[in-house]
């Protein structure tokens, strides 16, 4: 994605315990980074997962696509850049890229698809759309 296409960026640092025996971040930890960046982004827009749940609305992950391009190592600093779009009436899709800092080396390209649900049934996400500017 072009720099101007990202709506949000969050910076992180790799912790030792996130690395495997080869000294690189274990593949499963990238999904943690992506999810945390989503939460940080939503909070920046005034959206709280806990509050949504209290109101009966849940955003659930229905699909995760991750392309691993380059490994991160202990103490590497990185940023997760996020963009979003609506797909249909109930899905919000997060396009996320992870870049190592300070050289901006592309580490991961990911697409995380979520669906809005109420009592387990798909629903339109309501006022989330306005808060996200979609």
What residues are labeled active site?
20
Across-strand partners of 78?
12, 100
| Strand 8-13 with 77-87, pairing | antiparallel
DSSP-assigned states of every residue in 67-128: EE-S--BTT-EEEEEEEEEEETTTEEEEEEEEEEETTTEEEEEEEEEEEEEETTEE---TTH
How many residues are given for the chain? Answer: 134
């Amino acid at each position: 994605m072009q720099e101007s296409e990202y709506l949000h960026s969050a910076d992180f640092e790799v912790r030792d315990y996130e690395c495997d025996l080869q000294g690189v971040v274990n593949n499963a930890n990238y999904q943690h980074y992506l999810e945390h960046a989503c939460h940080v982004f939503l909070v920046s827009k005034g959206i709280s997962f806990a509050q949504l749940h209290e109101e009966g609305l849940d955003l659930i992950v229905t699909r995760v696509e991750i392309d691993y391009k380059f490994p991160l190592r202990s103490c590497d600093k990185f940023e997760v850049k996020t963009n979003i779009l609506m797909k249909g009436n109930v899905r919000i899709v997060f396009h996320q890229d992870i870049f190592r800092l300070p050289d901006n080396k592309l580490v991961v390209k990911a697409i995380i698809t979520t669906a809005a649900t109420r009592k387990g049934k798909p629903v339109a996400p309501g006022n989330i759309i306005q808060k996200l500017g979609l």
